A and B are shown apart, each in its own frame.
Chain A
């Protein structure tokens, strides 16, 4: 075993024995996300580097501490990328943090989320065992799909050491178009267009303006642009706009007011909960401010859930970061936590209090 991993395994065993948990930190770009950090800070960024990259296999394996910036550069050299457009939020963002938070960018609705691209993981569990699941191939149903389970587990199940990801060729051609539409009409249109074979790779509605991004073969993008007849954006403006959504540098996200993320069925009606920005064809809706109980109830009623994406510690403590789970689901969560981390070493409370 790698000496670094061996040392970490020892640290885990000590933590389990002493009852002093570890707060896992990669690049620190997403520390704001989830419950408060609790326990001794444990930096894992040092385990970094690309282990294997096979452009013709569409697979890259990287250590969890690898900065996303570095990974993206290596992929771009071969004309490939992570198609789900993971947000960085800071240049320090790592592969491990990307997997743990499982946040996806504007392309999510079109191509899938982090979990849809994870092929394999190597993790250290709460017993200090190094475990590998999945692999480097496209299809693998041997054993339970622990690789995907790790996506979004916020480091509560183990320290991710390595991740194998499916990569895709970079888009050939891209155009963005705009329409002046009210919220309800925009939602209807988005869902109607979604049912047609149009190359829509991203959408955003805010303040009476719907923006679409079309991606694909040049001919297909041009044909869709003609069919949809919106106002075309200059390529550079389009790029800046989608980047500002991915990185939440768009003016909508500015300021310290709490940021709520509603994940809803795309057909859920306009929520009338205040100023909103809608992405993913209607399936992701952002809100600033609002009463947490009202927001949570509205999300549940619409068949989805609400996350307090950014907020201060007091609000997080009173409202909870994530939508509460049903009783049987909560029990399964506790059991799974127990299965991977019986002594509660990793990131306690980062997802739910007591988990």
Chain B
């Protein structure tokens, strides 16, 4: 066997070989080559062993009751808001959202002694800001992204406004 450090055999071929993804003529040719090229034989050995380590990584056992929790969570899936938004074309949704943000801003010209924002309003603003951040994702017609955004809105809805730090310390001004 000769040691040819400068063998030009492409690495993706060696990787595909270790993965059992090299098809008929190439497969035989490479096997013959491995008999005479120590460099490639060594590479294949290292690729095989390092790949096997990834395959053998320990997994994680779902906690007891995982299936039940998922099934219980599906009750939320049927809520009307999510459904409506999912049926809207993404671009129309974006326009609608910009409209909502503007409408909310206009509504804000109220007497100055009412400057303090309610928690619900803080929450709405946090959601608006988040939507503005994601307008491009809304516009690229990707239903998965849209659903992800809706879920982030739900997340904002589920935590206290303080968690988002919106307008902290401005009340009572």
Chains A and B are bound partners: no
